[in-house]
Structures are given as C-alpha cells and as structure tokens.
A = this chain, B = another copy of it.
C-alpha cells in the first residue's frame, strides 16, 4: 500500500512539475500578439520572435532553410507567419506555440509572397518555374497554379481576394481574382500588356488602389489604377531609371511600400544620392533631397512626418532622417556596420534597425532619436511586426 501510494505520489508530482515547467507560450501562459515581431537571421535559417514593448527576444525558431532573401506575411489573427524563402520554401510558423506548423518546398527559386485580404489564401511567386502558386492558408494545400512562362515578380495582394503580379520577360501584369474560388471555380485572370521593359519589382499603395511597376529595361515606371473597370498602364516618373548605365538589377531600388509622407510619396533616386518626393495623387515629382549616399530604403514613420533612409554599401553604417515639411535632413547617426533594414512600431514612436554586422537589432525613439535598447541577433535582416497583418500589400 505504501509503495503504491508513493508511486502514485511520484507520478502526480512528475505531472504537476511538467505542467509547471512547460515552456511559456506553448501552454500555461496567455499570449497577446499585437506587439510581437519576427527578425530574420539570414545566415542561419532562423527567426527571432521579439516583443516590442519588452524590447526582448521571446524565442528562436529554426529550420526555415535558405533565408538569405526572405519576406513574410501574417494571418489576420496574427497567429501565423508565412515565410517565403529563396530556396522555394514556404513555411507556416505558429508564433504562439513558437514552432513550425508546416513547411513545403514549392518551387526552385522564389522570391515574394502575399496573403489574401480574408486570410484564406497564400500566394508565392517564382522565378523557376515562372509563375504563381496559391495555397490554402490553413493546410498549405495547393489551390491554384498559374504558370506565366516568365520570371514573376512584384506579387502583392489587393482587396477582394485578388493577387497582382508582373512578368520580367513579357512586360505584362496579371490580376488573379480568386473571389469565386470558394466553390472550386478557377481564378479569373486579367492580363494587361504594355507595362514596360523588364519589370523588376512593384508595389501597391496602402489603400490597395494603385499598382506601380519599376522597370529595368527602360526609364520611367508604369502604374495601374485597380479601381478602374479596365485598368490600363499609365506612365509615371518618366525620367526615373538607370539611363544608359550598365548596372546589375539587384542595385535597382526596392519598391516595397512607398509610404505616404504628408501628401507625397518618397522613394530612392536611381544612381543619385537623393530621395525623390512624388505627389501622391498624380505621381509627378515634387522635389529631391540630397542624401549621404545611394538610398536603399526610404521609409516614412507611420504618421508621415519623417522619412528614415539607409544607404548602399559602403555607406551602409549610416541612417539619415528627413523632415517631411522642410524636406531637410534633420538627423544623422551611425548605428553600426550594415544597418540594412528598418521597421517602425505601428504608431511610430520607435524604430527598430537591423545592424547585420554588429549582430544586433537596435531600437530608437523616433521623437528624441535616443537609443532605447538593443537585442542580440545573428546576422539580422528583415524585421516584420505583427501589425502588418492588418494592412494591404504587406
């Protein structure tokens, strides 16, 4: 009897001890996801889960393959991140349990993905084979395969369960309308020609209205008004481009998210140490600001009052802050070697900066410019806060 009771006691003790020591976030601890984020550790195929208000790391999630060029999107509840790796990996990460929920390798060489506005579909664009694949966001089952016969770039989501993407080889933009696919119907594809020579990247404005394509094969950009019944390419920024200069396409500016700064968009110039200001209504150029080097990213603080700019190697240890009203540089500092990516807290009071070669993410107050903290990270690159779940095109 005594040994029986002692055995039971020991079992209960073990069970209780296990319940009490189970890693937090998996069980036993309530989690709110509104101020979490993921930092890509580009050399190690891992993600750091971070907490914005704690300014701390919560976990490292490993096993995501080649993250040398990575983006990710969030499910509407912010529970899952869908990570698009260069090696064609599509990984669904559960940030509440801090585990990989599912992973598929869906193509040879891929860059870029998006999630539909209702969170039901995840799309990935591929260089090889050229095209877009669309997956059920819950199961990662393939729902649609859209071959394009071309290296496919500039994939974004648009309201109404649509995806928009463009073709490097053919200069076309396609709109894939998936809204009728609940009943098993095929996507309805609208093909738009004449978008220009060698589209290399694209963006959609925050309201989901305007899709802008950057061109490598000619100067100028093309825009589509997605609110039109039959969108047609219009020319914007006719002089914008590399001119006659031979340069590799990866040196062309990223078009990710022209954030609104006041009544203008701001973007890096090509081959000039400047940022351009562009009227947000009609896209004509309204001014330029001279900068420290060739800008890589020009990102507006969420209220649009400032624009934070980083620069191409070898000047990538420096950040400049430009005031939207005066168009002047109001602050300059050197966080460290290879300050490659910036992400603002959703209401803009802090900015987090990946300083790759210092193996740190550094955190600054955007009003006082004071450094607030830093987080250790192995070769950090992209930083993605969960507030992106609520935005079109991110």
Contacts and interface: CB of A to CB of B under 8 A. Distances in A.
Nearest to A80: B32
A9 interface: yes
Given A9-B8, A159-B303, A207-B303, A345 B19 contact: no
A207 B260 contact: yes
B209 A303 contact: yes
Contacts of A6: 5
* Best-buried of A19, A25, A32, A227 by chain B (most CB within 10 Å): A32
A117 B347 contact: yes
- Ranked nearest first, the 7 interchain pairs of A and B with the lowest CB-CB distance are A34-B78, A32-B79, A346-B390, A30-B96, A35-B77, A117-B347, A387-B390
Contacts of A97: 30
Contact of A31 (B30, B161, B260, B392): B30
A160 interface: yes
A208 interface: yes
Interface size class, chain A: 35 or more
A283 to B, nearest CB: 13
Nearest to A179: B367
Contact of A34 (B1, B79, B281): B79
A74 B34 contact: yes
A53 B75 CA distance: 10
* Best-buried of A30, A75, A349 by chain B (most CB within 10 Å): A30
B347 A76 contact: yes
A316 interface: no
A172 B348 CA distance: 28
A104 interface: no
Number of copies of this protein chain within its complex: 2
A164 to B, nearest CB: 14
Interface in A73-108: 74-79, 95-97
A325 B227 CA distance: 8
A249 interface: no
A117 B348 contact: yes
A343 B34 CA distance: 19
Given A12-B13, A207-B304, A208-B303, A347 B392 contact: yes
Contact of A76 (B1, B26, B52): B52
Nearest to A393: B347
A208 to B, nearest CB: 5
B96 A77 contact: no
A348 B159 contact: yes
Nearest to A304: B207
A119 interface: yes
Interface string A127-148: 0000000000000000000000
Contacts of A345: 76
Contacts of A207: 260, 262, 302-304
B32 A96 contact: yes
A15 interface: yes
